Chains A and B, each alone.
Chain A
Amino acid sequence: MSMSTLAIALVISVVGTLVAGLVAFWPDPRAHRASNILLAVSAACGAIVGILIATGDGLLLVLPEALYPAAADGSAHVWPLFYGMVFGLDRFSAIFYSLMSVVTLLVAIYAIPYYEDHAETYSKPGANALTALFVLGMQGVLLSTNIFGFMTFWEIISVTSFFLIMAGGSIASRKAGFLFLIVTHLGAGAIMSGLFLLSGGALLSDFSVIALITPELPQATLYAALVLLLFGFGSKAGLVPFHVWLPEAYSEAPVPVSALMSGAGVNLTVYGFLRVLLFMLPGVPMWFVLTVVILGVISAMVGVLYAVLERDVKRLLAYASIETMGLIFAMIGVGLLAGQEGSTDLTQAALYAALFMVAAHALFMSGLFLASGIMIATVHSRRLEAMGGLAKRLPLFSGAVCVLALSAALMPPFAPFMAEWSFLQAVVGALTEATPMLKVALAVIMAAVGFVAGLALFAMVKLYAIGFLANPRSDEAAAAIEPKPIFMLPVVVLAALGLLLGLFSPLVLNRIGAVDLAPADLDMQVLATGGGELAPLTLFLVMAGILLALFLLRRLLSDVTFERNYQTWDCGQPTTPRMEYTATAFSAPIRYFFRFFLRAQKVVTSTPLTPNNPWVASRTMSLLVSQVWYDRLYAPIGSGLTRLSGLVGRLQNGSVQFYISLILLALLVTLIVAL
Chain B
Amino acid sequence: MPFILVLILASGAVTAYLPLSERRIRDLGVVVAAVSSVLAVYIALPAFGVFVGEQSLVTGPTGVFGPGSLWYLDSLAAMMLSLIALISLSSAVISHRYLAHEFREKIVSLTDIRHYYSMVPLFVASMYVATLSNNVGLLWIALEATTLSTTLLVAFYRKRSAIEAAWKYVLLCSLGISLGLVGVLLITYAAGQNGANSSLLLSTFRDIVAAGGVNTDLIKWAFVFLFIGIGTKVGFVPMHAWLPDAHSKTPSPVSALLSGTLLNVAFVSLLRFRQVTDMALMDDGAWTGKFFLVFGCLSIVVPALIMVIQKNYKRLLAYSSIEHMGLMAFAIGLGPAGIIPAVMHLPGHALLKSSLFVGAGEIFLTYKTTDSAPVTDVWKRLPKTAVLFLLTLLMLLAVPPSAVFVSEMIMVGFGLRDYLLPTLLVVVALTVVFVAMLRHIYTMFFSAPTVNTVLTNGAVEKWNVTHVVMTIQLIAAAVLGIFYLTPKGLEIMVGIAQSLNSGLL
Contact = CB atoms under 8 A, between A and B. Distances in A.
B438 interface: yes
Contacts of B413: 196, 201-203
Given A645-B306, A660-B175, A185 B238 contact: no
Nearest to B436: A645
A671 interface: yes
A556 interface: no
Contacts of B486: 80-81, 83
Given A151-B409, A666-B228, A675 B239 contact: no
A189 B431 contact: yes
A196 B424 CA distance: 12
Contact of A203 (B220, B410, B438): B410
Given A81-B486, A201-B416, A656 B171 contact: yes
Contacts of B431: 182, 185-186, 189
Nearest to B430: A189
B241 A675 contact: no
A364 interface: no
A649 interface: yes
A667 interface: yes
A670 B228 contact: yes
A290 interface: no
- Which among A82, A84, A189 has the highest number of chain B CB atoms within 10 Å? A189
Contact of B394 (A159, A169, A201, A660): A159
Contact of B423 (A81, A185, A193): A193
A665 B238 contact: yes
A181 interface: yes
B357 interface: no
Interface string B223-248: 01101100010000011011010000
Interface string A166-200: 10010000100010011001100110110011001
Q: Which of A80, A174, A670 has the most CB of B within 10 A?
A: A670
Interface in B385-410: 394, 398-400, 405, 409-410
A675 B224 contact: yes
Contacts of A27: none
Interface string B163-185: 00001100110011001000000
B475 interface: no
A155 B487 CA distance: 23
Nearest to B490: A83
A663 B485 contact: no
Given A178-B439, A196-B416, A663 B409 contact: no
B108 interface: no
A667 B220 CA distance: 13
B428 interface: yes
B31 interface: no
A662 B171 CA distance: 13
Given A155-B399, A667-B225, A186 B428 contact: yes
A544 interface: no
Interface in B168-207: 168, 171-172, 175-176, 179
A579 interface: no
Contacts of A186: 427-428, 431
Nearest to A638: B308
Contact of A148 (B179, B399, B409, B482): B409
A652 interface: yes
B309 interface: yes
Interface string A106-149: 00000000000000000000000000000000000000000010
Given A192-B409, A193-B424, A662-B239, A81 B171 contact: no
B221 A675 contact: yes
A442 B410 CA distance: 43
A547 B398 CA distance: 60
B302 interface: yes
Contacts of A182: 431, 435
Contacts of B364: none
Contacts of B291: 670, 674
A575 interface: no
Q: What band does the interface of chain B fall in when counting residues whose beta carbon is under 8 Å from A?
A: 35 or more
Contact of A152 (B168, B308, B400, B487): B400
A42 B291 CA distance: 53
B424 A663 contact: no
B438 A181 contact: yes
A621 interface: no
B157 interface: no
A69 to B, nearest CB: 23
Interface string A596-622: 000000000000000000000000000
A392 to B, nearest CB: 41
B305 interface: yes
A279 B274 CA distance: 44
B310 to A, nearest CB: 8
A224 B420 contact: yes
A166 B485 CA distance: 31
A531 interface: no
A641 interface: yes
Contacts of B306: 645, 648-649, 651-652
A663 B224 contact: no
A587 B217 CA distance: 76
Contacts of B290: 674
Nearest to A220: B420
B31 to A, nearest CB: 38
A581 interface: no
A95 to B, nearest CB: 26
A645 B168 contact: no
B462 to A, nearest CB: 19
A34 B278 CA distance: 61
Contacts of B428: 186, 189
B217 A81 contact: no
A646 interface: yes
Nearest to B379: A169
A68 interface: no
**Most chain B C-beta atoms within 10 Å of own C-beta, residue among A153, A166, A641:** A641
A80 B488 CA distance: 9
B405 A155 contact: yes
Given A189-B428, A656-B167, A663 B400 contact: no
Contacts of B482: 81
B179 to A, nearest CB: 6
Considering residues A656, A662, A666, which has the most beta carbons from chain B within 10 angstroms of its beta carbon?
A666
A663 B172 CA distance: 8
B159 interface: no
B487 A670 contact: no
A125 to B, nearest CB: 12
Nearest to B176: A663
Nearest to A644: B305
B461 to A, nearest CB: 18
Given A80-B486, A649-B306, 13 more contacts: A155-B398, A166-B442, A182-B431, A189-B430, A193-B412, A197-B416, A201-B416, A652-B244, A656-B167, A658-B241, A660-B171, A667-B225, A670-B228
15 contacts: A148-B409, A152-B405, A181-B435, A185-B435, A186-B428, A189-B428, A189-B430, A192-B409, A196-B413, A642-B309, A646-B309, A656-B167, A656-B172, A670-B224, A674-B290
Closest 9 CB pairs of A and B: A201-B417, A659-B241, A645-B305, A189-B427, A666-B238, A645-B308, A648-B305, A152-B400, A201-B413
